[in-house]
Structure 1
Amino acid sequence: MNDSKKTAKMNEVSLFRLYLLRAQYLFIIVGLAIFRWPEVIQQVISQDKSWELKEGVVICMLTAFSALLILGLRYPLQMLPLLLWELVWKSIWLLIVALPLWTAGQMDESTWATAFNCLFVVTVPFVIPWRYVFAHYVKKRGDRWR
């Protein structure tokens, strides 16, 4: 087997892995559709109260994130950066916000709820095709700068 065939074989993602990715995208889409989209729709319809700045930013970002994840159902590999972003931000938050509060015994109800939601990120590393990520985002030559 020549080098190009070996590289192509190594970068190939199985159909099973593609379905796992799609399932992960769908899991996140459904969760956000249940918990965030109703807030956005209610805000658009009633506009009874305005959101505080950070609350509005978070809700709008998560809603946009779920809308983009819909593309992952059709293009699971092209939308991998969304799952990588999800993995990174939740891991950072759990490590630098939740863990210190938890070890100090200072977790309040709101922090517990956020930590619980962030802990669902544990499924993401198992569905990401890491060989593909390495080949396409680490090893592959980047786009030209000029």
Structure 2
Amino acid sequence: MTHRHAVTRVNFALIACVVACGLPLTAHAQMQTVQPSTAQALPPGHPAVQQPSPQSVAAEGVRTSANIARGAADICHIDAVKIARFKAVARKSFTDAPDFDGEWNLGYKEAQSTVDRFAALKTSNPQEYAQKIGEACPALTRGIDESTAGQ
């Protein structure tokens, strides 16, 4: 992995953290193939715990990126051109994903419940809505700008 790829992946991780902290989007983590009692008893990385394939990790990255894009577009009202650049960077970053467009569409759809929650919060508690948006959206915008710099 080149330094540029590592920086891109770190930027995606930072954006994901911002979203997880401020905009709880709904990307589904891949479940590892382990018996429940073993998974609870063994730490991640233990030899008995089957590691996810590079393809499944990349697919999860695509879905998470799409979740971020949906929140950025529908909740933070980030420009569609920025979202398109973000998608292009995700496509370049997650080359191991076997079906980028399918995973992107799935991740985008998975974020609908978050979009709906924010729409409901906007009417039910405008003060809390403003606080959450005020915390998350500027950081999300910066993260997308950083990850797409040079695009």
TM over 0.5: no
TM-score by length of 2: 0.26
* Higher percent of residues as helix: 1
TM-score by length of 1: 0.27
